[in-house]
Amino acid sequence: MSSSKTPMVNYMDMTIVEPQERMSYLVKHGNMIEVDPKQSILRYFRSGTEMERMAKVYVAEGNHENAFILYMKYLTLFVEKIRKHPDFESKRAEMKAINKLIKEEIMPKSEKLRQKLMNNYQREYEQFLANKEAERIRELERERERRKREARDCSKVGGYTLIPANLHVQIDPNVQPTAPDMKLLDQVVYPNDFPMGGQRSNLSDGGLLLSVETDFRDENNKRTNIPSKPSFDRSQKPQYDRSDSLLAGSLRTVIIPQDTMEVFLKLAQRNTDKNVETCGILAGRLSQNRLYITHVIIPKQHGNADSCTTMSEEEIFDVQDQKFLITLGWIHTHPSQTAFLSSVDLHTHCSYQLMMPEAIAIVCAPKYQTNGFYILTPTYGLNFIAECRETGFHPHPNDPPLYMDAQHIQMDQNQKIQVVDLRR
């Protein structure tokens, strides 16, 4: 479930490594939920059931962070936020069952996950510190090796070599030297007696005065650049991959059987011939952090040329409970129009997307042989429609756009959609 008033947070940009800080971020995301008084309170009860169902899947798959976030959302919703709904007082009986579930199952499970995560975070943090120290030691060793190489390279620089003052050289007074004897000069060197850094220095220590060039050159006689800053930034904390987490802020992929639209249009053909819309509920399951649409549930309904209203919502919930399905969106036809979301469609879809951020709206336009896959824009449209108090068909601004093509869907040619038609 997502709040219409809470911005997405991209956890992949975070560099949190301290265990308590990481846990605080999980709790923060677990608190990101609001109750819209316009939405049916039954929808929130249903959303709680689906959150619990998805949390169990995450636990079974070992994705403890996502499971913990969903349990925290469940607790935030039913311990705190649901009380603000105008119909709360009329649902005391339902709340008794939920409170019993919270006490006996949700809270113990969430506390167990909290402790497990803290232990994992502590181990990861200690390993990080150990790796950091090992890298520091390796960097010191690299620095020592670098200095040794510099010392060796300094033995021959610029074609000149330094001779200390206490070296006695026998010179024939009858011979006037024109240049230093390089074979002799190469024999004794004290490179640490002159400064480094590419500077020229006149050195006089009671010995021979020589001009020494301290530019270091490699085997190709090119300047060798020695980095002055270690390659390991000790202030940088490790990045954690959150691509499989609810904290990532991105939408999980929704897998759709390729034949979904074709099968649905056949079920809607009788209404389409009468220019009457038909609608259905898209339901499925969670696996490996992907959402798979497996069923289309066709509820009892009544429609006309430009709208469709479902009836007996509790029958839909019964089917989902029997088959352990979660709601992943809805599908409907535009018998004589193109594929788009009308103002009524936008408000209908808002209720789905508030409960499940990945929920999609599929619009089938058989006259134009096109299908649309839409979501409300998370950064604008979802908030705008949630706060709009108009009913029926009414104008909305087009800029910025209120909805967009769903980018998080993927077609599956190998799976076949299953149908539950409650109209029969």
Tens of pLDDT along 143-161? 999 998 888 877 655 555 4
Q: What is the pLDDT of residue 424?
A: 78
Of 128, 158, 182, the residue at which a domain comes to its end is: 128
**Alpha-carbon gap, residue 195 to 26, rounded angstroms:** 55
What is the pTM (predicted TM-score) of this model? 0.71
Query: Does 383 fall in a domain?
Result: yes
**pLDDT value at 117 more than 80:** yes
Q: What value does the mean pLDDT take over residues 353-358? A: 93
- Mean pLDDT of all residues in the chain? 80
Q: Among the listed ranges 169-173, 207-211, 358-362, which one has the minimum average pLDDT value?
A: 207-211
Q: What is the pLDDT of residue 249?
A: 63
**pLDDT value at 317 more than 80:** yes
Q: What is the CATH number of the domain that holds 361?
A: 3.40.140.10
Q: What is the pLDDT of residue 224?
A: 40
- Please give the angle made by the CA atoms of 372, 36 and 391, to the nearest 5 degrees: 60
Domain count, the chain: 2
Is residue 242 a contact partner of residue 11, using CB atoms and an 8 Å limit? yes
Of 85, 109, 128, the residue at which a domain comes to its end is: 128
**Alpha-carbon gap, residue 364 to 84, rounded angstroms:** 37
Query: Does 212 fall in a domain?
Result: no
Q: What is the CATH number of the domain that holds 44?
A: 1.20.58.80
**pLDDT value at 197 more than 80:** no
Q: What value does the mean pLDDT take over residues 310-330? A: 94
Query: Does 170 fall in a domain?
Result: no
Of 111, 128, 145, the residue at which a domain comes to its end is: 128
- What is the full DSSP assignment across 262-293? HHHHHHHHHHHHTT---EEEEEEEEETTEEEE
List, in order, residues 6 or more apart from 185 with CB less than 8 Å away.
160, 161, 163
Q: What is the pLDDT of residue 394?
A: 87
Q: What value does the mean pLDDT take over residues 153-181? A: 54
Q: What value does the mean pLDDT take over residues 322-341? A: 96
Query: Does 180 fall in a domain?
Result: no
**Alpha-carbon gap, residue 12 to 247, rounded angstroms:** 8
More confident residue, 32 or 207: 32
Query: Does 288 fall in a domain?
Result: yes
Assign residue 348 a region (left: φ > 0; alpha: ψ between -120 and 50; beta: otherwise).
alpha
Q: What value does the mean pLDDT take over residues 354-376? A: 96
β-pairing, 418-421 with 290-298? parallel
pLDDT band at 173 (very low <50, low <70, confident <90, very high): low
% of residues, the chain, pLDDT over 70: 74
Q: What is the pLDDT of residue 150?
A: 84
- Same domain as 400, residue 263: yes
**pLDDT value at 135 more than 80:** yes
Query: Does 400 fall in a domain?
Result: yes
Q: How many Cα atoms occupy the beta-carbon half-sphere of 233 within 13 Å?
A: 4
Query: Does 415 fall in a domain?
Result: yes
Give the domain extent around 55.
19-128
Query: Does 136 fall in a domain?
Result: no
- Neighbour count for residue 163 (Cβ, 10 Å): 18
Phi, psi of 409 (to 5 degrees): -105, 160
Q: What is the pLDDT of residue 222?
A: 42
- Same domain as 121, residue 270: no
